[in-house]
Amino acid sequence: MSPFFLCSGKAGYRSGRTKALDTLIRLEAAYPEAKCALLHADPFQLLIATILSAQCTDVRVNQVTPLLFRCYPDAARLAAASKPEIEEIIHSTGFFRSKAKNLIACAKSLVDRHNGEVPDELLKLIALSGVGRKTANVLLGNAFDIPGMVVDTHVKRIVYRLGWTEQRDPVKVEKALSRLLPEEKWTKASHTLIFHGRAVCKAPTPECSLCCVVKSCPQNGVKRWR
């Protein structure tokens, strides 16, 4: 089967959008429970949890954040925290030294620039320490109900396999998907694809026999054995 990419050119682009949306709708039906897995009560908690989730499972982050939020319930208290204290609490999330540094710096920026509140604009979010486009889009979509196309390792892998885009750089993937999918689908699509990546379309070997969209998938980059 030859690879094809829906986002690779103008020819047939409308048809490509229809095919991608049809695939997404089938995936949504397979994962109706798909949502943000990071436990949080407000935008500040989601911001901190998302920063901690880098190179770490959501399950582990959810085990760590209850104590962290009890000790540091807002930006002002986190900004005044000592780095060793934060490191001790978040140690099990990995890269704890850099994460602790970013958390404190991020909290200080919130206090100094935004009166301790989390901004709801992409450019203001990515200006915070430890916050990239992925984290910013998580915040936009899940804390502020503003469409955000989150591209993590699962999303990047799956949309390449599905032939939705040949791009591999996360920012280029985000832009391609934002053109391909309706804006109102961005946030939900991210969760759905992440759930599918964890359950079926795994790395390095997907369980294609269990996949609900395998018939329409070119399986780009997937090793097929004869």
Query: Token pair of 23, please?
Result: 């695939």
Nearest to 95 by CA among 64, 74, 72: 64
Residues 32, 128: contact at Cβ < 8 Å?
A: no
Catalytic, 58? Answer no
Rounded distance between C-alpha atoms, residue 95 and residue 175, angstroms = 29
**Rg for the chain, CA atoms, rounded:** 19
Query: Token pair of 154, please?
Result: 């699962």
> Which amino acid is residue 64, in one-letter code?
V
Helices (H) and strands (E) counted in the chain, each on its own, are 11, 0
The catalytic residue among 19, 99, 134, 156 is 134
Query: Token pair of 115, please?
Result: 């009166």
145 CB-near residues (< 8 Å, 6+ apart): none
**CA dihedral angle for residue 192, residue 201, residue 25, residue 188, rounded to 10 degrees:** 10
> Which amino acid is residue 53, in one-letter code?
S
Rounded distance between C-alpha atoms, residue 77 and residue 103, angstroms = 11
The catalytic residue among 58, 124, 152, 202 is 152
Catalytic residue numbers read 134, 152
